[in-house]
Amino acid sequence: MYGTVARIRAKPGNGPALVTLMAEYDQLQIPGFVATYVYRLDDGADDYSIAVVFEDRGSYRRNAEDPAQDARYRRLCELLELDPKWHDGEIVHASAR
């Protein structure tokens, strides 16, 4: 599996809109997409971490290069104080119940 993580800060009052936007991804049929996790962090009401999981690096890259994904990304950035810094990488361990 392959994915990316970022720590982000929503503009004040934009937390609910951020969660709604992330939930819209549930309806999309993105090839290779596995999951998105959004954490609201304890150290600030507007601070979040996002983790996105794909089946493999190729499907992640194809999505990243898709103009539709760029449009979704721009909608996300409108809700944030700063653009996210994404950290891409291979998922070398995952556990779930």
Tens digit of each residue's pLDDT, the chain (97 residues): 999 999 999 999 999 999 999 998 888 999 999 999 999 999 878 999 999 999 999 999 999 999 999 999 999 999 999 999 999 999 999 998 8
pTM for the model: 0.90
pLDDT at 44: 79
Query: Is 8 part of any domain?
Result: yes
| DSSP reduced 3-state for 27 | helix
Residue 24, domain extent: 2-86
State the Cα–Cα distance between residues 13 and 43, nearest whole angstrom. 16
Query: Is 72 part of any domain?
Result: yes
pLDDT at 45: 85
Query: Is 93 part of any domain?
Result: no
**Tally of domains in the chain:** 1
pLDDT at 58: 98
Query: Is 91 part of any domain?
Result: no
Query: Is 42 part of any domain?
Result: yes
What is residue 45's DSSP assignment? Answer: T
pLDDT at 25: 84
Query: Is 96 part of any domain?
Result: no
Query: Is 37 part of any domain?
Result: yes
pLDDT at 91: 97
Query: Is 63 part of any domain?
Result: yes
Supply the CATH number for residue 75's domain.
3.30.70.100
